[in-house]
Amino acid sequence: MVKRYKILLEYDGSDFFGWQRQIQERTVQQELEDALAALNGDQPVTVIGSGRTDAGVHALGQVAHFDLDTPHPPADICHALNAKTGQDIYIHNCVEIDNEFHARYGARQRHYEYRILLQPSVIQRKYTWQIDNHIEINLLHECALAVAGEHDFSRLSRASAETELKICRIYDSKWIKNENFLNYTIVGNRFLHSMVRMLVGSMIDVARGKATPDDFVALIDHRESHLKVFTAPARGLFLKQVEY
């Protein structure tokens, strides 16, 4: 009997070409599906994630589901997946779930965090965007406040984003400075392709004096702006949590 399973996983996105399966590229979805096929008599199994993280983006709390006909309990499936995937993926748990559950369409809120380090570090080079400390934190706070609410983010997302609807509701948007770390947290109902990285990169340019907060707000409001959108590197972005 085919049953639906939900998994909670984390991954280091450094060596992945994103979440979505690609031809001749290593992806998280492909790695999971290949591992599950080995448990399914080499028959394909489709894994649906809560969102499609870009190449180089990490996850601490990605959620996914798949359908599988197996006599093995969820704990054994979890153990087998961890044994058959690389060391840069770890499945924290696997549970049987109602067949109506959908990891992507059922998600109500997604939490992302972008990590910036204000000094050089070899250890942190894969997990932070390292920039100099010559930025105005108050300007970042001003920009972050403008992101909250419901907006059309078409000017702050890749043109290749798969959906025509570019409106997202942002529940929380804030910068937090802790010693030499500067982290941006954002919570929303949905996110477009590269949207968080474009928000971060553009806000940092404002904080560096390349434009004003009003120029940033103008991008969100679809007014004329002197701010050119800049996309922050993927390595600083983490999908932290998904709520249902």
Same domain, 213 and 157: yes
DSSP string, the chain: --EEEEEEEEE-GGG-S-SS-BTTB--HHHHHHHHHHHHTTT-----EESS-PPTT-EEEEEEEEEEE--SS-HHHHHHHHHHHS-TTEEEEEEEEE-TT--TTTT--EEEEEEEEESS--STTTTTSEE--S---HHHHHHHHHHHSEEEE-GGGS-TT-S-S--EEEEEEEEEEEETTEEEEEEEES---TTHHHHHHHHHHHHHTTSS-HHHHHHHHHT---SPPP-PPPGGGEEEEEEE-
Same domain, 136 and 231: yes
Same domain, 117 and 153: yes
Same domain, 145 and 225: yes
Q: Active-site residue 54, yes or no?
A: yes
Tell me the whole-structure pTM to 2 decimals. Answer: 0.94
Q: What is the pLDDT of residues 157-204, one digit of tens each?
A: 987 645 667 899 999 999 999 989 999 999 999 999 999 999 999 999
CATH classification at residue 59: 3.30.70.580
Band of residue 132 on the pLDDT scale cut at 50, 70, 90: confident
Same domain, 75 and 138: no
Which residues span the domain enclosing 32? 3-97
Residue ending a domain, among 34, 67, 97, is 97
Residue ending a domain, among 97, 118, 149, is 97
- Determine which one of 12, 54, 69, 76 is catalytic: 54
Same domain, 61 and 13: yes
Q: How many domains does the chain have?
A: 2
CATH classification at residue 121: 3.30.70.660
Same domain, 58 and 130: no
